[in-house]
């Protein structure tokens, strides 16, 4: 149950909070990694991304004691204070290249030292290391590859548009199991590093078909579809919602979002306003 801090002391208004000798700073991107539920109606916040923000005495608190937590704004919502142990810091998205998921961060510097130590000129060693890196996904390259079905209101490409007057809706199914949309991560067919997915839906009462429970699957260069690398639940909000994939993400050629349940019960189609990758 959520409570208000009701406190005006300096500890509760501070904007930097300690977690295992580490600190969250205002403006940092974080992921909720434990099960926490928004009240009325309950929605699971796990895997949702948010921004650390300054904390005030009006901030909703989900922890006890109330001075041990971090104020986080999810998808433009009012900030809430969550336990520090429930949050994971996400890497900044500024660099266009990332080490392949099979290469640890410290391995890059170690390999550079080894190659240079074996007599390879440093510039040539750096060039060789480029083959261990993968480009981060960029929405200018992303396209909608396929969908399990389409009612046909708009072209599938409109799923990448931020507009709220276009959408994707699956065809009517008497017994709904799941529907999916698949995105290509690049224009050259090579894998891209995908750290998470974004989804926009119309909230209730306007969106009874809105995707609620979903998972994320990915396909790499091996051509195999890896199922359920992320399972999450949307909030009943109009803003674009962000969900982080495990670890540093995946190196994928395609990403498939599968919808298993909608915002309202007993629906026979599902719908989404917008999808994006980051």
Domain ranges across the chain? 3-89, 97-135, 143-277
List of the chain residues with pLDDT < 50: 1-21, 40, 105
Domains 3-89 and 143-277 share a fold: no
pLDDT at 10: 34
- Give pLDDT tens digits for 65-97: 666 788 999 986 778 888 888 899 998 776 777
Q: Hunting for tokens 């009006």 — which residue is that?
A: 58
Beta-ladder partners of 216 = 230, 257
How many CB atoms are located within 10 Å of the residue 7 CB?
A: 13
Q: What's the CATH code, domain 3-89? A: 2.30.30.30
pLDDT at 135: 92
Model-level pTM? 0.81
Q: How far apart are CA 15 and CA 59, in angstroms?
A: 12
Q: Could you tell me which CATH class the domain 143-277 is placed in? A: mainly beta
Is residue 63 within 8 Å of 82, Cβ to Cβ? yes
Q: How far apart are CA 110 and CA 70, in angstroms?
A: 35
C-alpha R_g of the chain: 21
Q: How far apart are CA 81 and CA 70, in angstroms?
A: 5
- Give pLDDT tens digits for 196-242: 999 999 999 999 999 999 999 999 989 999 999 999 999 999 999 99
How many CB atoms are located within 10 Å of the residue 25 CB?
A: 10
pLDDT at 121: 76
């Amino acid at each position: 149950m959520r409570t208000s801090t009701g406190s005006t002391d300096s500890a509760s208004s501070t904007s930097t909070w300690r977690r295992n000798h580490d600190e969250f700073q205002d403006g940092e991107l974080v992921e909720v990694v434990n099960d926490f539920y928004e009240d009325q109606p309950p929605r699971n916040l796990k895997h949702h991304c948010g921004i650390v923000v300054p904390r005030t005495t009006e901030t909703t608190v989900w922890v006890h004691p109330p001075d041990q937590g971090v104020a986080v704004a999810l998808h433009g919502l009012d900030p809430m204070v969550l336990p520090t142990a429930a949050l994971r810091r996400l890497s900044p998205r500024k660099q266009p290249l990332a080490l392949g998921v099979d290469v640890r961060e410290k391995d890059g510097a170690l390999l550079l030292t080894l190659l240079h130590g074996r007599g390879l000129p440093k510039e040539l060693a750096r060039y060789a290391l480029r083959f261990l890196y993968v480009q981060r996904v960029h929405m200018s390259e992303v396209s909608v590859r396929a969908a399990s079905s389409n009612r046909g209101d708009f072209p599938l490409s409109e799923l990448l548009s931020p507009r709220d007057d276009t959408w994707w809706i699956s065809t009517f199914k008497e017994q709904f199991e799941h529907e999916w949309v698949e995105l290509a991560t690049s224009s050259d067919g090579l894998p891209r590093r995908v750290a998470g997915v974004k989804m926009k839906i119309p909230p209730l009462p306007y969106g009874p078909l809105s995707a609620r429970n979903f998972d994320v699957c990915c396909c790499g260069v091996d051509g195999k579809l890896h199922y359920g690398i992320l399972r999450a639940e949307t909030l009943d909000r109009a803003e674009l919602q962000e969900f982080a994939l495990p670890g540093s993400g995946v190196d994928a050629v395609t990403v498939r979002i599968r919808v298993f349940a909608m915002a309202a019960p007993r629906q026979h189609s599902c719908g989404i306003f917008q999808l994006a990758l980051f």
